[in-house]
């Protein structure tokens, strides 16, 4: 049952952040404040992603119903993993992290099912909007964002505007190579940053390292790796130094290429906290020309994992 009214002048938007692990949806106002929020696991490979997106939106609307029975909505904003054809709002390409998602006409499907206008962009592009309006990117004309989660995504802001490229694939920073003889990537490349700095790869590499040591711990996840690192575990420290080296290599290259004044790091891996940022700043300084590094800040994302959901909604006021 419809419990909302479409109003192009409304102060509320449903923001949806679609990742390989979970989908967050929130009722967000023009100031970026989240009034209600619902989160569901993506269940990639087990359920159709578009149906999980529809479900999380319906659950959010149900949450709002009792408190805001006369809710007026401006539309739905989506930030999604994968490569987004920005003009038509479809999923142009998606890796094996979300099987069967490529080719989904997401904008058309959601507009038909909810009878609301929909804007869709890449999940890290919308994270960059959060930074531009609410976070470290306020007043900054040139910055880039990296989201280290299930995969690694990126966004470039030049002269205060997102760089979308020819059709929307600009800023695919997770697939720049940091090791030309390195680990094969799901994208078909070799040595991509995603294979060293995503949460998925950190957990996988830790399990492989333990296995080589004769220790079988199939349940080790990224949070456990961080906990061991903070506790001084030698294996975790060695692995995280490799991760920091790969990430620092990529960021140094991006600084030389784009001359930004700010690098924003978001996603679940950023939750490793101050130790990660301290080590990363040192690694970037070691690899970057002093003249290019001068004045460059490396900062955590605003509101951490909620940034994508907020930015997805902010598309309507961008």
Mean pLDDT of 70-90: 94
- pTM of the predicted model, to two decimals? 0.88
- Nearest to 304, CA basis, from 60, 122, 135, 57: 135
Average pLDDT, the chain: 94
- Nearest to 60, CA basis, from 22, 15, 121: 15
Q: What is the pLDDT of residue 69?
A: 85
Mean pLDDT of 268-285: 95
In the three-class reduction of DSSP (H, G, I as helix; E, B as strand; rest coil), residue 90 is classed as: strand
Mean pLDDT of 133-137: 95
Q: What is the pLDDT of residue 268?
A: 87
Gyration radius of the chain's alpha carbons: 20
Model confidence pLDDT, tens digit, residues 176-190:
999 999 999 988 999
Model confidence pLDDT, tens digit, residues 149-208:
888 999 999 999 999 999 999 999 999 999 999 999 988 999 999 999 999 999 999 999
Q: What is the pLDDT of residue 259?
A: 98
Helix, strand and coil percent figures for the chain, each rounded to 5: 40, 25, 35
| pLDDT for 304 beyond 70 | no
The number of CA neighbours under 13 Å toward the Cβ of 91 is 23
Beta bridge partners of 25: 16, 38
Q: What is the pLDDT of residue 296?
A: 98
| pLDDT for 264 beyond 60 | yes
C-alpha 23/C-alpha 157 separation (Å) is 25
Model confidence pLDDT, tens digit, residues 17-58:
998 889 999 999 999 999 999 999 999 888 899 999 999 999
Q: What is the pLDDT of residue 318?
A: 87
Q: What is the pLDDT of residue 303?
A: 74
Q: What is the pLDDT of residue 1?
A: 55
Mean pLDDT of 273-299: 97
Q: Number of helices (H) and strands (E), helices first, in the chain?
A: 10, 14
Q: Which residue has the higher pLDDT, 318 or 158?
A: 158
């Amino acid at each position: 049952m419809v419990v909302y009214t479409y109003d192009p002048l409304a102060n509320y938007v449903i923001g949806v952040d679609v990742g390989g692990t979970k989908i967050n949806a929130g009722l967000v106002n023009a100031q970026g404040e989240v009034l209600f929020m619902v989160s569901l696991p993506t269940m990639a490979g087990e359920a159709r992603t578009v149906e999980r997106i529809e479900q999380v939106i319906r659950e959010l609307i149900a949450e709002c119903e009792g408190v805001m029975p006369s809710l007026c909505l401006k539309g739905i904003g989506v930030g999604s993993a994968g490569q987004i054809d920005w003009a038509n709002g479809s999923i142009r390409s998606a890796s094996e992290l979300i099987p069967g998602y490529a080719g989904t006409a997401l904008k058309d499907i959601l507009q038909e099912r909810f009878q609301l206008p929909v804007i869709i962009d890449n999940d890290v592009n919308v994270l960059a909007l959060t930074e531009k309006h609410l976070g470290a990117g306020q007043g900054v004309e040139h910055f880039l964002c990296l989201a280290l989660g299930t995969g690694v995504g990126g966004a470039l802001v030049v002269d205060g505007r997102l760089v979308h490229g020819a059709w929307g694939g600009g800023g695919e920073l997770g697939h720049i190579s940091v090791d030309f003889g390195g680990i094969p990537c799901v994208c078909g490349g070799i040595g991509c940053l995603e294979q060293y700095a995503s949460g998925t790869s950190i957990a996988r590499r830790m399990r492989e390292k333990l296995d080589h040591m004769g220790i079988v711990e199939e349940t080790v996840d990224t949070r456990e790796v961080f906990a061991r690192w903070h506790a001084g575990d030698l294996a975790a420290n060695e692995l995280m130094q490799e991760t920091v080296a790969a990430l620092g290599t990529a960021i140094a290259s991006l600084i030389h290429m784009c001359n930004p004044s700010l690098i924003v790091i978001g996603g679940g891996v950023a939750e490793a906290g101050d130790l990660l940022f301290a080590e990363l700043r040192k690694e970037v300084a070691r690899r970057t020309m002093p003249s290019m590094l001068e004045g460059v800040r490396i900062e955590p994302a605003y509101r951490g994992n909620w940034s994508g959901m907020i930015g997805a909604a902010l598309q309507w006021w961008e």
